[in-house]
Structure 1
Amino acid sequence: MSHALPPTIDPVAAHHWHQAAEAEAPWLHEEVANRMQLRLDWIVKPPQNWCHWEPVRGGLQAHKLLRERYPQAECTIYEPVEQRRAVAEEKLGSRWWQLSRWKGAGLQVAEPADGSVDMLWANMLLHTAADPQTLIERWHKALKTDGYVMFSALGPDTVMQLHRLYADLGWGPAGHAFTDMHDWGDMLVHSGFAEPVMDMERITLTFATPERLLQELRELGRNLHPARFAGLRGRAWKAQLLQKMAEKWADKQPDGQLSLTFEIVYGHAYKPQPKVRLESSSSVSLQDMKAMLKQPRNTGLR
């Protein structure tokens, strides 16, 4: 199956950022995760097994909230980058002398096996993936039939003020384009998910100085656009940027603070019962066959 890759993400830069990102969740990630876990109130049946996909950047405070919400559920933590995997093992794993090891359900740091979890949680990750379709398909494989994914990502209106400033100054793209929530929904369906529910909200933060705003952006990510400035920017350029931000920022509060908008996209979808399209020769995986055999049979007469 061919994938429509994001048109404005440099895959090499995206891989480098994924490997080099700090082993700590930015404030915004924790805030979004907290808002996303409130959406679990809509889920009637709690998971018996769930996977936290890259929790160190996604939010360790949110992980604690999820463990408190589902204390009896087995948890698998997936952290593919060694530095962040070590942090996950240190901060989330329990020692033999801790009460948490003997109460509630277990926790392991590993890649989830195919068809092993009822819920997969991925916070503020998908918008930096160079091949998000493949990533969504991996989530689909990890889920049991009737399991579900919960994820969040940045949407197209994110940091619009910075994009506007760059455009006015003729500096090229300030960052790569973020995917619209309807396109995420299409990707979910193409990956085998059903009943996708997408919604969004905008969060506006204010910063006292241009320097503090830039610090926040550097904690959140990097410019992954293929047409970004190819070399390293110097001190003179940074000083000019800070000056232009102070002079020309589009959304400046009466007290001089700079407003910055983030569009947050939330997604939720189920893995449905497998369907087999009958042809002259059809093949079905053992896992899908087991799932189909568990479906109730229709004994009514036609």
Structure 2
Amino acid sequence: MPTDSAQRPPTIDATAAGRWSRLAPASQSPWLHEEIGRRMEDRLQWITAKPRHWADWSPLRGGLEAHGLVARRYRDATPYVIEPDPVLAAATARSLSAPWWTARRWQGARPSFDPPPEDGVDLLWANMALHMAADPQALIAHWHRGVATDGFLMFSCFGPDTLMELRALHRQLGWPPASHEFTDMHDWGDMLVGAGFAEPVMDMERIVLTWTSADAALAELRTLGRNLHPARFPALRGREWRRALGAALPELAPAEEGGGRIGLTFEIIYGHAFKPAPRVALSAESAVSLREMRSMLQRGRVGN
């Protein structure tokens, strides 16, 4: 893994990422994100810790149905919603108060949009957010500060093989990159440890989605994100390019079942890691935060 952040994924235009983060999505979360959230929630059965409180990072994009699954699993825990942008916070609040979100569907405590506990939450749930961050190391560090000692982070994101057919098509036709690059799960593990998390567990799977037409494929792709690559095409595309893409997709990204269907691969990375008690290497002068000192005193020890 290169040490220079400019030489490793993600290759993301920070300005474009900022615009994307402020773009409020529709009231319905993307289908693929909901499916990934369902699969990630199923992994919680292997974790014995029972959170007293948990927080969902940007559930409108990450998955409202997935939020409900976690709430039902931990129905005695206090849920919080963290939306990094006020526009998304307002849209999420509207979605969670909509009539379709019934008590029967919810079966758990209503989420709070107030700041989470000062000492952090026992579970920070972040579904399908990390691959759209221009500075993922800073985001992981932010998450680390929001997790309580002995709490854990659970996240998912796209991996390097995502849209490999579409990216290959762009290369073959001499077009600029179809998407920004996605980070490998081993690099995510390194970043987690670097931020102070412990015992990271990473795994991945590939999901192939198929569509009957280029229009259907592109419509769904628009719900999942944007191309944030700095070298992406800098202007609006014309009708001729759109027709060329529509003709090339069935030929260069064919679904396995054939019949003119289009197939695109999505590599999904799942990860979780625990936040250990802070350890401070004591010297003639050592500085620790009040929160870290409180945690160490509660445990009756200071790390050496």
For normalisation by structure 1, the TM-score amounts to: 0.90
- Would the aligned equivalents of 2:121 and 2:148 in 1 still touch at CA under 8 Å? yes
Q: What is the total number of aligned residue pairs between the two structures? A: 293
Q: Out of 2, 17, 20, which is 2:20 matched to?
A: 17
Q: 1:211 to 1:99 in 2, by over 3 A?
A: closer
Q: Please say if 1:4 is aligned against 2:5.
A: yes
Which segments of 5 or more consecutive residues in structure 2 lack a partner in the other structure?
none
In structure 2, what is the equivalent of residue 200 of structure 1?
A: 204
1:104 and 1:37 map into 2 onto residues whose CA distance is: 15
In structure 1, what is the equivalent of residue 249 of structure 2?
A: 245
In structure 1, what is the equivalent of residue 44 of structure 2?
A: 40
SS in 1 for 2:112: strand
- Would the aligned equivalents of 1:198 and 1:268 in 2 still touch at CA under 8 Å? yes
- Would the aligned equivalents of 1:53 and 1:78 in 2 still touch at CA under 8 Å? yes
SS in 2 for 1:294: helix
Q: 1:252 to 1:41 in 2, by over 3 A?
A: closer
CA offsets 1:251-282 (integer angstroms, 9 cap, x no match): 45322211111000001000001001111211
- Would the aligned equivalents of 1:93 and 1:107 in 2 still touch at CA under 8 Å? no
Letter in 2 for 1:11: A
In structure 2, what is the equivalent of residue 123 of structure 1?
A: 127
Q: Please say if 1:30 is aligned against 2:22.
A: no
1:250 and 1:207 map into 2 onto residues whose CA distance is: 10
- Would the aligned equivalents of 1:25 and 1:59 in 2 still touch at CA under 8 Å? yes
| TM-fit CA distance, 1:35 | 0.2
Identity %: 51
Q: 1:218 to 1:94 in 2, by over 3 A?
A: closer
- Would the aligned equivalents of 2:203 and 2:269 in 1 still touch at CA under 8 Å? yes
For normalisation by structure 2, the TM-score amounts to: 0.90
Q: Out of 227, 241, 250, which is 2:231 matched to?
A: 227
Larger radius of gyration between Structure 1 and Structure 2: 1
1:256 and 1:99 map into 2 onto residues whose CA distance is: 43
2:149 and 2:10 map into 1 onto residues whose CA distance is: 32
In structure 2, what is the equivalent of residue 108 of structure 1?
A: 112
In structure 2, what is the equivalent of residue 269 of structure 1?
A: 273
What does residue range 167-186 of structure 1 map to in structure 2 within 5 Å?
Answer: 167-186=171-190
2:175 and 2:66 map into 1 onto residues whose CA distance is: 37
Letter in 2 for 1:15: G
- Would the aligned equivalents of 1:210 and 1:242 in 2 still touch at CA under 8 Å? yes
- Would the aligned equivalents of 2:71 and 2:108 in 1 still touch at CA under 8 Å? no
Select between 113-122 and 143-152 the one with higher mean Cα deviation: 113-122
1:132 and 1:87 map into 2 onto residues whose CA distance is: 24
| TM-fit CA distance, 1:114 | 4.0
2:98 and 2:251 map into 1 onto residues whose CA distance is: 51
| TM-fit CA distance, 1:8 | 1.2
- Would the aligned equivalents of 1:158 and 1:262 in 2 still touch at CA under 8 Å? yes
| TM-fit CA distance, 1:111 | 3.9
Q: 1:94 to 1:104 in 2, by over 3 A?
A: farther
- Would the aligned equivalents of 1:251 and 1:258 in 2 still touch at CA under 8 Å? yes
CA offsets 1:149-169 (integer angstroms, 9 cap, x no match): 000000000011001111110
In structure 1, what is the equivalent of residue 55 of structure 2?
A: 51
CA offsets 1:99-141 (integer angstroms, 9 cap, x no match): 79xx964531134354221000000000000001111111111
Q: 1:283 to 1:60 in 2, by over 3 A?
A: same
| TM-fit CA distance, 1:294 | 2.4
RMSD of aligned Cα (Å):
2.3
SS in 2 for 1:241: helix
SS in 1 for 2:123: strand
- Would the aligned equivalents of 2:253 and 2:264 in 1 still touch at CA under 8 Å? no
Which segments of 5 or more consecutive residues in structure 1 lack a partner in the other structure?
none
